[in-house]
Amino acid sequence: MSDTSAQNPHMVALGIIRKAIGLNGLCAVEVFGETFGQLEVPGEVLVGRNENICRTITIEHIEFRPKGPVCFFKDITDRDGAETLRNQYIYLRYDELPKLESDSFYHFELMGKKVLTDNGQLLGNVTAVHNFPTVDSIEIGVGHESIMIPLTAEALETIDKVNGRIIVKHAFIEELL
């Protein structure tokens, strides 16, 4: 492991190390989205309490268990070592993320995007993206309040990454306004 000050502001959190499991350095990870499951192992990631101060570490092995993924990190061989990683985030640099098809997106790419209805009404901007067990949703700041819109075909007309906007079906949200 080497210490790194992350100079690149384009860091993406893939998950957070929640706790040590057992005595041999195994760590339980709470993941954010699907990208963690696509990591090639062994592989280098950045680990730290925030994206500005983190260190490079190698994930040696990932197991996907019913309660969530667990992993071994290089040079972390006991419970004490695993405990030093507790509550630290796992990051990748944006340019190291797996490439997506043109009609796919990462949740963080939606943050701040303008949200309009299909009849042209500006609703607001995306303030949060939520990964719920049943459906992913965007939270939109509308005045001093916010509304949640599911990322489903029933609610969305389109997500336009190029022009930085999301078009929501007015018929879907008219009761929310």
Q: Could you state, in chain order, the average pLDDT of each consecutive group of 10 residues for the chain (177 residues)?
A: 42 92 95 84 93 92 93 96 96 84 78 92 90 86 87 91 89 77
Q: Examine the domain organization and report whether 6 and 91 are in the same domain.
A: yes
Q: Examine the domain organization and report whether 116 and 39 are in the same domain.
A: no
Confidence (pLDDT) at 177:
65
Confidence (pLDDT) at 64:
93
Q: Examine the domain organization and report whether 28 and 50 are in the same domain.
A: yes
Alpha-carbon distance values, 129 to 24, 61, 106, 146, 155 (Å): 35, 29, 10, 12, 15
Cβ-contact 97, 32 below 8 angstroms: no
- Number of residues assigned to the chain: 177
**Domain, as residue range, for 54:** 2-95
pLDDT tens string 28-78: 999 887 788 888 899 999 999 988 889 999 999 999 999 899 999 999 999
Last residue of a domain, one of 69, 95, 121: 95
* Number of Cα atoms under 13 Å in the Cβ half of residue 147: 18
Confidence (pLDDT) at 59:
97
Q: Examine the domain organization and report whether 116 and 84 are in the same domain.
A: no
Q: Examine the domain organization and report whether 84 and 22 are in the same domain.
A: yes
Q: Examine the domain organization and report whether 90 and 126 are in the same domain.
A: no
Q: Examine the domain organization and report whether 20 and 56 are in the same domain.
A: yes
Cβ-contact 52, 5 below 8 angstroms: yes
